[in-house]
Amino acid sequence: MFLRIDHIGIACRDLEEKIRLFSDTFDLTVVAREVNEEQGVKEAMLHISDGEGGGSYIQLLEPLSEDSPVGKFLAKRGEGVHHVAFGVRDVADAMGKISERGVRLLDERPRHGSMDSRIAFLHPKDVGGVLTELVQAAGR
């Protein structure tokens, strides 16, 4: 079902500072920046490698407001890993299978993710405390 680890989503307070830290320390390149109003974040994708069906990235996330999901996460847990994401071939198909197996979905249907992907989140309480995202990368 999983083609690759798509990205590790890291919550931070200052996106530009963390882009500099990660790119300078690990020789990484920013390949996309966007603001996702629906999710209440501005973000950057730092490319690590290419794999089946898409790439692997570090995703840096700065909240647009304190009462957004990532804003609340920062207030409670501080900076660090917010979620992890796995690449799938067909996100709707994966959502169906996973739901049948008893894991709750946070999204009823796929929504828009980074770099025109289609994504869905799974309930962290059903996945060992890990906020888990499914990613169907945009066709290339």
Check if 16 is active-site: no
State in angstroms the smallest separation of the CB of 43 from a copy of itself: 14
Helix locations, the chain, DSSP H = 15-26, 69-77, 91-100
| Contact flag: residue 15 with a copy of itself (CB under 8 A) | no
- Only segment of 26-34, 35-43, 104-112, 113-121 that touches a copy of itself (CB under 8 A): 26-34
| Contact flag: residue 120 with a copy of itself (CB under 8 A) | no
How would you list the strands of the sheet with 80-87, edge to edge? 29-36, 41-51, 54-63, 4-11, 80-87, 132-136, 118-122, 111-112
- C-beta of 41 vs 98, nearer to a copy of itself: 98
Check if 133 is active-site: yes
The single-letter code of the amino acid at 44 is A
Residues that are catalytic: 7, 43, 59, 83, 133
